Amino acid sequence: MNAARWLVAGILAGVLVLLILFGYGLAKQREGDTLEQGARIVSVGGDVPIEPHPAPDFTLKGFDGKQVKLSDYKGKVVIVNFWASWCPPCAEEAPTLESGWQKFKNEGVVFLGVNLWDDPQNAEQFIEDNDLTYINGTTKTGTATEYGLTGIPETYVIDKNGQVIRRWRGPLIDHELANLVEAGLSSK
């Protein structure tokens, strides 16, 4: 029975990798190229409609050695981004997240990067290579499931009341991230 579980896990991991690579291929089209069928891609990612709901709390073990809890930031807008060092779309959006952090950190906005399915050394190298200064770390495995994660990168906006109000699948570009942050700041 144990072998069957490993087989299923391997198949699911393979499907996830294929979806990520497919998303990466579409991301390369998004800068204005057209597809063979003539369709123009405006954005790879997408704002996924959700009903606002309480954000599942989690503890993030930062790569800097510190631990933070999501609930520590009640009263602030929190951008939670799930990523991995081996994910090309994650690398593509990393500069966007860092510039967004620099732009909004003095407005009561916190960025938390949640690294998944990764080797810690590779994750730390990714953070260094991309000059990421916002909090990044790991959490228990179930956090991704509690958030309903379908792939990476995926980003969630948590308002000042601790409610998940927005969800974005795929890599973000500057104006998309700004719109998500503004939605969090304007949420009542």
DSSP letter assigned to residue 38: S
For 120-184, what is the HEC assignment?
A: HHHHHHHHHHCCCCCEEEECCCHHHHHHCCCCCCEEEEECCCCEEEEEEECCCCHHHHHHHHHHH
- Choice among 90, 91, 172, 180 that is catalytic: 90
Matching residue, tokens 């599942």: 56
Distance CA 38, CA 149 (A): 31
Instruction: Measure the CA–CA gap between 155 and 171, rounded to whole angstroms.
Output: 9
The enclosing H or E element of 79 equals: strand 77-83
Residue 185: CB partners within 8 Å, gap ≥ 6?
77, 107, 108, 109
Q: How far apart are CA 76 and CA 184, in angstroms?
A: 9
**47: amino acid identity, one letter:** D
Annotated catalytic, 87? no
Active site residues: 90
